[in-house]
Amino acid sequence: MAFAHTAEVIRAEAALKAAGFPVRVMGPPPDMRTGCDMVVEFELMREPSARRVLAEARLAPLAVAPVRAGMLEPVSLFQSVDFGQWLMVRAANMKVTVDKETRVIVNVSGGGCPDVPALAELMVGRTLEDAPAPLERGQTLCSYALELAFREAQRLLPLDAGSAS
């Protein structure tokens, strides 16, 4: 499913997941690009049910097409770099760097979206538990990618691991 804006993709993913649909956010093939470089992948056989869920959430996709070659997956590939005291996790163009011992976020970078500076201000200096999830405040592709990097950092640095040092 393709949507006009990133915020709609984020809302559609949340609504469909809440309704029990297994969905993934993907990069669209070139012929489906609409200005929003994300689409929601779901089981095509469940399209009528998915459309009902989206209608209840006041969302309407611009297009629905079967998955085919050329689908990209830019926001679900992670890279992590261990800098000794710090761990940097990257998802797409966004990076979050965390002190491994204290679990305090020391840097947020990347993107180019207007909400990145505000998200960085909210997150830097806070622990992975205390920092707000990026999608609580942002609605851009950058905030979506930062959310994925943030969740991956939480997974890689579980709470009990920091206290074991």
Place of tokens 């990069």: 27
Predicted TM-score of the model (pTM): 0.67
Each residue's pLDDT tens digit, 29-66: 666 666 666 788 888 889 999 999 999 999 999 888 87
Q: Does the structural domain 1-73 have CATH classification 3.30.70? A: yes
How far apart CA 132 and CA 115 sit, in angstroms, is: 14
The share of the chain scoring above pLDDT 90, in percent, equals: 52
Residue-level pLDDT at 161: 56
Domain with CATH 3.30.70 in the chain: 1-73
pLDDT confidence bin for 73, thresholds 50/70/90: low
- Residues in a beta bridge with 41: 24
- Let me know: does 42 contact 23? Beta carbons within 8 Å: yes
